[in-house]
Amino acid sequence: MTSTDATPPLRPTRQRIAVAEAMASFDDFRSAQEIHELLGRRGEHVGLATVYRTLQRLADAGEVDMLRTEDGEAIYRRCSDTHHHHLVCRSCGRTVEVEGPAVERWTRAIASEHGFTDVSHTLEIFGTCPSCG
Amino acid sequence: MTSTDATPPLRPTRQRIAVAEAMASFDDFRSAQEIHELLGRRGEHVGLATVYRTLQRLADAGEVDMLRTEDGEAIYRRCSDTHHHHLVCRSCGRTVEVEGPAVERWTRAIASEHGFTDVSHTLEIFGTCPSCG
DNA sequence: GCTGATTTGACAACGATTCTCAATCGCCAT
DNA sequence: ATGGCGATTGAGAATCGTTGTCAAATCAGC
């Protein structure tokens, strides 16, 4: 393995920058389509397919979180680089990042207890936030 | 609201029974399409739309678990009636039901700490099982 | 400026899921 | 049993998010 290029050269194009900036501009989860629209409204036209491609790259690179709504739609959000989970308001979509070392430990323990390796997990908490309650 | 009927009468039709039996016949997660196919092969023809409708009912009734694969497809599995989570093998799909009272407590605590009510959560653990490792 | 690899965008293609709506079916009172 | 009637079904069309296609545009380096 001289330099296992799983990562081909990445170019900072106008489109990629636009998407990255858009992601930086809000705090909650948005779908690819919403981001595409947002960019359009801002005058930064970026093709829908490109938005999808870019978001995937960002997600792979761990720069954004991607999760699925109940009905299977992918939604994205910029995130801090530490591992964490989300507390999401069912009605207004407001999200809070939460951490739980105990949960991390627990999942690892359970997994190895069953002989599973290379473990990862997803955890989302849903509820009604104070202002929507 | 004389008797807030959120649950209209449910009829035990041939189709619903067939789907329920199919669900009882295996242990791992299957997609609606797979179940539809399975029934077809068994000679029990049930329309695809009906399979979808029935699985949704079952999921709403808490008789089956529904979760989403990484790519957004819905998959279903019969489940015990106690609240639990799944440890899923990324390569062969084998699943193990796990329980974690600590996690339940933790999510409830975190949520109320932020003023969220009516809380629920999803938690899945993915990994490579012993036989696939 | 030229060249080759990367990236883009418009649009077609896809696949899962839902909708439509007429034909059937199950339940229940007669 | 029988008839009425709302629940249910099925076949196919319609949605909708997402991915594929491929020629044109763009970029890095020479």
CATH number at residue B111: 3.30.1490.190
Measured distance between the N- and C-terminal CA atoms of chain B, rounded to whole angstroms = 56
Q: β-strand B95-98 against B85-89: which pairing, if any?
A: antiparallel
Q: Which residues touch strand D (CB under 7 A)?
A: A 11-14, 31-33, 48-49, 52, 56, 72-74; B 8-11, 13, 15-16, 45-50, 53-54, 71-72
A32 and A14 within one domain: yes
> pLDDT for A72-86, tens place per residue?
999 999 887 778 888
Beta pairing partners, B78: B64
Asked if pLDDT for residue A27 goes beyond 60, the answer is yes
A48 and A18 within one domain: yes
CB A55 within 8 Å of CB A15? no
Paired tokens of A68: 């699925």
Asked if pLDDT for residue B9 goes beyond 70, the answer is no
B21 and B73 within one domain: yes
pLDDT computed for residue B4 by the predictor: 44
Q: What is the arithmetic mean of pLDDT over A48-56? A: 96
CA distance A64 to A21: 12
B64 and B4 within one domain: yes
Give how far Cα B14 sits from Cα of A20, B11, B54, Å. 53, 9, 12
**Confidence band of B5 (pLDDT split at 50, 70, 90):** very low
B111 and B87 within one domain: yes
pLDDT computed for residue B1 by the predictor: 45
A100 and A44 within one domain: no
A18 exposed, middle or buried (CB, 10 Å; 0-12, 13-18, 19+)?
A: buried
A119 and A57 within one domain: no
B72 and B97 within one domain: no
- DSSP for residue A117: E
Asked if pLDDT for residue B12 goes beyond 60, the answer is yes
CA distance A19 to A94: 21
Q: Specify the DSSP element, H or E, that contains A75.
A: strand A74-78
- DSSP for residue B6: S
CA distance B121 to A87: 9
Asked if pLDDT for residue A31 goes beyond 70, the answer is yes
CA distance A49 to A127: 33
- Give which of A31, A84, A87, A125 to mutate to test B binding, by max B Cβ within 10 Å: A125
Compute the half-sphere exposure of residue A5: CA atoms within 13 Å on the CB side of its CA.
3
Q: Which nucleotides of strand D come closer than 7 angstroms to any CB of the protein?
A: 7-12, 17-21, 26-28
Q: What is the arithmetic mean of pLDDT over A9-32? A: 90
Paired tokens of B60: 């709403």
Give me the percent of chain B exceeding a pLDDT of 70.
93
* Chain A residues interacting with chain B (CB cutoff of 8 angstroms): 68, 72-74, 87, 89-90, 96, 98, 100, 102-103, 106-107, 110-111, 114-130, 133
**Confidence band of A2 (pLDDT split at 50, 70, 90):** very low
Per the CB < 8 Å rule, is A126 touching B106?
A: no
Q: What is the arithmetic mean of pLDDT over A21-45? A: 93
Number of domains in chain A: 2
pTM across the whole model: 0.83
A43 and A98 within one domain: no
Residue B58's domain comprises 1-79
